[in-house]
Structure 1
Amino acid sequence: MKIAMVGSGYVGLVSGACFADFGHEVVCIDKDPTKIERLNNNIMPIYEPGLAELVGNNVKAGRLSFTTSLAEGIEGASAIFIAVGTPSRRGDGHADLSFVHAVAKEVGENLKTPAVIVTKSTVPVGTGDEVERIIAATGTQVQFAVASNPEFLREGAAIGDFKHPDRIVVGTEDEFAKTVMNEVYRPLFLNKSPILFTSRRSSEMIKYAANAFLAVKITFINEIADLCEKVGGNVQDVARGIGMDGRIGSKFLNAGPGYGGSCFPKDTLALLKTAEDYDSPTRIVEAVVKVNDSRKRAMGRKVVDALGGMTEARGKKVALLGLTFKPNTDDMRDAPSIAIAQTLQDAGVTVAAYDPEGIEMAKPLLPFVEMKSGVYETIEGADAVVIVTEWDAFRALDFDKVKALAKAPVLVDLRNVYDPEEIRAKGFAYSSVGRV
């Protein structure tokens, strides 16, 4: 089967490469000629473990190709996926659907053979209806159907998630679309991956509801962590204790500096705006968004406190280890490190930082931060070392070396990577999240 993937960003590129690896013929389409040229030279626009090898192998096998021409790319395709960006719209927080709508119009104008147009991008409820209307308005006489197929990929583990999914959600009640989508995902049936067919609007809601629920879990355990610090509890023990309850589950109960990334911030905000539009308030999600935003700044203040408070902190230097919102990605979107670094700058603190993959993405967002090329170079002369992102490279630090290089033996562990007793025994002033 031929598949066209419109959009070669994170979702489009990973999905397209995986579909090609299943044996489909896939054409990835993007308006950016520089990106397409780099992809044709096997230079990835994002960091994702295993992606360059996956793309290279399938290009070599003739199953994956790249083009800037939508008309050429969709020719003969049975499934045309829309995987373009839907960022939060400036001013009101609604998802910006201008790219999705533009693709729908161009698809309608160039459609020559029957196809299913699939929204892979995360879109608000009702978007599929509008995509269908836009395509129909072009006057095309070719058979088409519009389906929703949200992605559930975790950055840093996207290839595994795509090939071994918890579930595949397809929103359509059209029999032609069901037939095509079953064929698209047929290679996964050997893995017995459950495919759930729903209405289009239900499918669109599933994506937002899933991300909002996970954001709730993260924010809940972060607030419990704050309470643990007050009462003398250990949030990791609490998380294990409640996570063993099958009704709750252990995932997304790791206390930290708050959630970030490409999905949770914009998707929770978009859900709030949809709820407002339909006069159906989502108070829990509203509270989650507010708490998460304030938490990032609070983590910056936690570092200031470790430096001795506002008066003592001014003029001191902090080393931030990790900048991306999570490990194994170069994604800086809404990363907690941004608010933390800004809070430190506001307090008169000099900030140096290192991240294994995120430096280039971080530079324009944090121009006042001195970017370093290694862990110990960053730590040298620091009055405090702060673990912001739990990269593997930070899990086995040489603390004798850290102590020798740093101006003061102060470690603020915002990811609870280390055991408090062990680090304090090495002579460090140590603080973490939800533990005393």
Structure 2
Amino acid sequence: MRLTVIGTGYVGAVHAACMADIGHDVLGVDIDTDRITALAAGRPPFFEPGLSGMLKAAVDAGRLRFTTSLAEAAWFADTHFVCVGTPQRPGSGAADLRHVEAAVDGLAPHLPRSGYERVLVVGKSTVPVGTASRLSTRLRTSAPDAEVAWNPEFLREGCAVRDTLSPERIVVGAGSARAEARMRELYAPLLATGTRFIATDPATAELVKVASNSFLATKISFVNAMAEICDVTGADVLALAEAMGADSRIGPRFLSPGLGFGGSCLPKDIRAFAARAEELGQGESVAFLRQVDEINTRQRTRTVDLARQLAGGSFAERSVAVLGAAFKPCSDDVRDSPALAVADTIRRQGAQVRVHDPEAVDNARAAFPALQFALEVSKACERADVVLHLTEWPQYRDLDPAALATVVRSPAIVDARNTLDPVAWRSAGWTLRAPGRPRLG
């Protein structure tokens, strides 16, 4: 099949490359000419494991190319995926839909001249419920035979290629049997491997994404709330989470206590969902999401407090090393990064802060130019009074605490992700603090 992908950011670039990989002819569209140039040369504009080789192979094979022209997109295919961003609206928790509307409005006038009948516009962007219906009305003023369907993405940064090619489920909200049949045909190579296809209406498909993210965010904030209780009772939150997760009704995933969630999805999605519920007169139904957001934000303050304790009660004239800048491992994405928020708060309280990250240093430096950065862990930790472990990259878990102790001024570490081996670090002479854990060292 031939299809276009409008918007070649994180979701769009991955979707375009993966659809080309399973055999479709794909045209990626974006207004960012520098991004289009890089993608056309087979270079992804961000770090994502497995994407670079797949992208270059698809471009070299001629199954994937890129353009800045929506007119060209209209002529290329009769199925168009909209993958543009929906950031948080300035001054509000609501989603900003300007990019989605611009993509649909820009495409619509070209559709009647494309020669295709029954054009299908498929949304993958995360949007408030009711968006598909509204876009359908706008689209049909220019293209009466065009349909809108919604096919939410469930990608995890760092696992996006695998999540696209081996998804747990494919959800499609289509308004007609014709649209559903086309989507089943498009995803046929994935369905043949046993992937579940869930067909529903567009409104339900829109809700599936925000409801799922809200539930995951709630699990994370719940275990972090339990970590706060553990801190004042002497209980161990890791043992608590393990015991809770052993219950099949609860499960262990997303019960990892620590610094909390960040990135471009969970924070903005729960805020947008709460804002949309208010618009619908159902704000009380999801009022708990405000507390989920507050608990998550509070973990950053708690981490700063732990670090200040280890620094002797003040950051003035102290050197602090921060391990991690990306909001999660296996990514260079620093949007709403808890690690950088903590690092910058400590800097503003008087400390000299040096940050290390295996992939995200360039993005972090652009976002927080007042921070200092190091390309080696040893350089970041050199003569540090406190070390903060803030992004759970595997290489940080594999650090030799005895060797690192010879580099720092004071062997004190905050394990804000609760993934380091406390026995190994304590045996090497370190004082280790972690949220929800008994004091170690």
1:43 to partner: Cα distance: 1.8
Describe the superposition over 1:35-76 as per-residue Cα deviations: whole angstroms up to 9, x where unpaired.
111112222111100101000111111111111111112324
1:433 to partner: Cα distance: 2.1
Residues in 1 aligned to 2:305 and 2:211: alpha-carbon distance in whole angstroms: 32
Residues in 1 aligned to 2:76 and 2:205: alpha-carbon distance in whole angstroms: 26
Residues in 2 aligned to 1:18 and 1:370: alpha-carbon distance in whole angstroms: 37
1:163 is the counterpart of 2:165: yes
Higher alpha-carbon deviation: 411-420 or 270-279: 411-420
Describe the superposition over 1:243-286 as per-residue Cα deviations: whole angstroms up to 9, x where unpaired.
11111111001111111011001101100100111121212111
Describe the superposition over 1:201-256 as per-residue Cα deviations: whole angstroms up to 9, x where unpaired.
11101100000000000000111112122222221111111111111111001111
Name the SS for the 2:366 alignment partner: coil
Contact 2:4 2:76 (C-alpha < 8 Å) held by counterparts: no
Contact 1:17 1:55 (C-alpha < 8 Å) held by counterparts: yes
Map 1:80-91 to 2 at 5 A: 80-91=80-91
1:131 to partner: Cα distance: 1.2
> How many residues in Structure 1 have an aligned counterpart in Structure 2?
432
Letter in 2 for 1:121: S
Letter in 2 for 1:8: T
Q: Residue 47 of structure 2 aligns with which residue?
A: 47
Residues in 2 aligned to 1:13 and 1:317: alpha-carbon distance in whole angstroms: 40
Q: Residue 18 of structure 1 aligns with which residue?
A: 18
Map 1:132-151 to 2 at 5 A: 132-138=136-142, 140-141=143-144, 143-151=145-153
Residues in 2 aligned to 1:280 and 1:422: alpha-carbon distance in whole angstroms: 50
Residues in 2 aligned to 1:399 and 1:179: alpha-carbon distance in whole angstroms: 57
Q: Residue 110 of structure 1 aligns with which residue?
A: 110
1:322 is the counterpart of 2:324: yes
Residues in 2 aligned to 1:131 and 1:195: alpha-carbon distance in whole angstroms: 24
Q: Residue 415 of structure 2 aligns with which residue?
A: 413
Letter in 2 for 1:86: T
1:122 is the counterpart of 2:126: yes
Contact 2:41 2:59 (C-alpha < 8 Å) held by counterparts: no
Residues in 1 aligned to 2:155 and 2:404: alpha-carbon distance in whole angstroms: 36
Contact 2:121 2:146 (C-alpha < 8 Å) held by counterparts: yes
1:340 to partner: Cα distance: 0.7
Letter in 2 for 1:379: C
Residues in 2 aligned to 1:342 and 1:22: alpha-carbon distance in whole angstroms: 43
Q: Residue 369 of structure 1 aligns with which residue?
A: 371
1:185 to partner: Cα distance: 0.7
1:314 to partner: Cα distance: 1.2
Residues in 2 aligned to 1:64 and 1:14: alpha-carbon distance in whole angstroms: 12
Contact 2:140 2:146 (C-alpha < 8 Å) held by counterparts: no
Higher alpha-carbon deviation: 281-290 or 415-424: 415-424
Q: Residue 295 of structure 2 aligns with which residue?
A: 291
Contact 1:297 1:339 (C-alpha < 8 Å) held by counterparts: no
Contact 2:316 2:351 (C-alpha < 8 Å) held by counterparts: yes
Letter in 1 for 2:40: N
1:325 to partner: Cα distance: 0.7
**TM-score normalised according to structure 2 size:** 0.96
Q: Residue 208 of structure 2 aligns with which residue?
A: 206
Percent identical = 39
Q: Note the residue ranges of structure 1 that are not aligned, 5 or more in a row.
A: none
1:292 to partner: Cα distance: 1.2
Residues in 2 aligned to 1:196 and 1:39: alpha-carbon distance in whole angstroms: 32
- Out of 380, 402, 420, the position equivalent to 1:400 is 402
Q: Residue 356 of structure 1 aligns with which residue?
A: 358
Q: Note the residue ranges of structure 2 that are not aligned, 5 or more in a row.
A: none
CA, structure 1 residues 101+89, in 2 after alignment: closer, same or farther (shift >3 Å)? same
Name the SS for the 1:169 alignment partner: strand
Contact 2:227 2:436 (C-alpha < 8 Å) held by counterparts: yes
Q: Residue 343 of structure 2 aligns with which residue?
A: 341
Residues in 2 aligned to 1:249 and 1:399: alpha-carbon distance in whole angstroms: 32
Q: Residue 191 of structure 2 aligns with which residue?
A: 189
Contact 1:156 1:327 (C-alpha < 8 Å) held by counterparts: yes
Residues in 2 aligned to 1:411 and 1:32: alpha-carbon distance in whole angstroms: 42
Contact 1:29 1:66 (C-alpha < 8 Å) held by counterparts: yes
- Out of 259, 268, 271, the position equivalent to 1:269 is 271
**TM-score normalised according to structure 1 size:** 0.97
Name the SS for the 2:66 alignment partner: strand
Name the SS for the 2:367 alignment partner: coil
1:349 to partner: Cα distance: 1.2
Residues in 2 aligned to 1:79 and 1:295: alpha-carbon distance in whole angstroms: 43
Residues in 2 aligned to 1:21 and 1:264: alpha-carbon distance in whole angstroms: 28
Shift >6 Å, 4+ stretches: none
1:119 to partner: Cα distance: 0.6
Residues in 2 aligned to 1:104 and 1:48: alpha-carbon distance in whole angstroms: 28
Q: Residue 99 of structure 1 aligns with which residue?
A: 99
Higher alpha-carbon deviation: 340-349 or 14-23: 340-349
Higher alpha-carbon deviation: 339-348 or 101-110: 339-348
1:346 to partner: Cα distance: 3.1
Q: Residue 313 of structure 2 aligns with which residue?
A: 309
Residues in 2 aligned to 1:232 and 1:290: alpha-carbon distance in whole angstroms: 23
